[in-house]
Amino acid sequence: MLRSLYSGISGMGGFKTQLDTIGNNIANVNTTGYKKARTSFEDMFSQTMSAANSAANGLGGTNPVQVGLGSSVGSIDTINTQGSFQTTGRTLDLALDGDGMFKLAEWNGAAVNPTYTRAGNFYLDEDGYMVNGNGKYVIGDNGRIEIPTTTQSFSIGNDGTITIVDQDGNATSNQQIQVSNFANEAGLNKVGGNEYAVSNNSGVENLNAPGTNGNGSIVSGALEMSNVDLAEELTSMITAQRGFQANTRIITTSDEILQELVNLKR
C-alpha cells in the first residue's frame, strides 16, 4: 500500500486536534482569566531507503535517503501571557498584574485539595469568608480570608493586604491574600472551573505575598480577561481547515493511483 495514505491519515488527525484546540480557545474568548492553548506538530519516524555513507575510494560522502511517514501532535501548550483588564469597580473583583495565581482550597481545619486560578471574581459566603464561584476558599497568610459580617467597609491593596473598617470606624489590616507561582506554570493541569492543579512537571508551589519573589501585584476592582486573540484564532482555523482538506486530497489521490494499478489487468 502507498505510504501517502497513512501520511494523509496522520495529517488529518493532527489538524483535527488543532481545530479542537482552536474551537476551545474561541469558546473561551470571554472567560475570565482563561489562557489560550496552542497546538504544535512533529514529524513521525522515517523509513530509511539507504543509509548515509562517508567519503571513501575517491568519492565524497552521500546523504541518507529517507521517506517520512506522517506527522503527529507534538504538544498542546498553554500560553500564559497577560490578559487585558476589565474595570468593574467591585472590591472583590481582583486581577493579577504579572505572574502568579490565586490559591484556592477546600477547608477541613486546614487547606486541602488546593487549586489555583487567574480568575479573580470572588464573593463572600454567609459566614463572611472569601470564596470563588465554586465555593472554594481564597487562601491568605493566615488561612482563609474572612470579612466579618459587622464590617462597615473594606479595601484590598496592591500587596494583597485587606483593610477592614468596623462599625466604629476603626481600621485593621491583619490579613493578606497570597499568590502562588511555579517553576513551570504551563505544566499545571487544567481541572475545569478556571482552576489548575499541580502536576508532576509544574514544580512545587511557591506561596508568597503579591509583588514579591516574582509575583504580580493585585489590582482590586478589575478582572483579567481571556488572552485569546479572536483574529489570530480565526486565521489559525482557516489554516487548519485547509491543512485538513489537503490531507484528504492526499488520500483521494492515493486511492486513484491504487485504482489504476488494480485496473492494469482487465
Spatial distance between the Cα atoms of 65 and 103, rounded to a whole number of angstroms: 54
* pLDDT value of residue 128: 92
Local confidence band at 56 (pLDDT 50, 70, 90 cut-offs): confident
Asked if residue 218 lies in contact with residue 178, where contact means CB atoms within 8 angstroms, the answer is no
* pLDDT value of residue 111: 87
Would you tell me the crossing angle of helices 230-262 and 3-27 to the nearest 10 degrees? 160
Quick: pLDDT tens for 134-143. Answer: 999 999 988 8
* Arithmetic mean of pLDDT, 157-174: 89
Spatial distance between the Cα atoms of 162 and 154, rounded to a whole number of angstroms: 7
Q: Check residue 93 and report its DSSP letter.
A: B
* Arithmetic mean of pLDDT, 84-90: 94
pTM for the complete prediction?
0.86
Checking if the pLDDT of 47 tops 90, the result is no
169, amino acid identity: G
Between strands 206-208 and 179-181, the pairing is antiparallel
- Angstrom CA distances, 3 to 6, 46, 51, 175, 250, stand at 6, 11, 19, 65, 10
Asked if residue 91 lies in contact with residue 154, where contact means CB atoms within 8 angstroms, the answer is yes
Give phi and psi for 183, each to the nearest 5: -60, -35
* pLDDT value of residue 60: 86
Asked if residue 219 lies in contact with residue 155, where contact means CB atoms within 8 angstroms, the answer is no
Give phi and psi for 243, each to the nearest 5: -60, -40
* pLDDT value of residue 266: 66
* pLDDT value of residue 98: 92
Question: Between these two residues, 47 and 193, which has the higher pLDDT value?
Answer: 193
Quick: pLDDT tens for 91-134. Answer: 999 999 999 999 999 999 888 999 999 999 999 999 999 999 99
* Arithmetic mean of pLDDT, 207-232: 93
* Arithmetic mean of pLDDT, 257-264: 85
Among 203, 199, 98, which Cα is nearest to 158's? 98
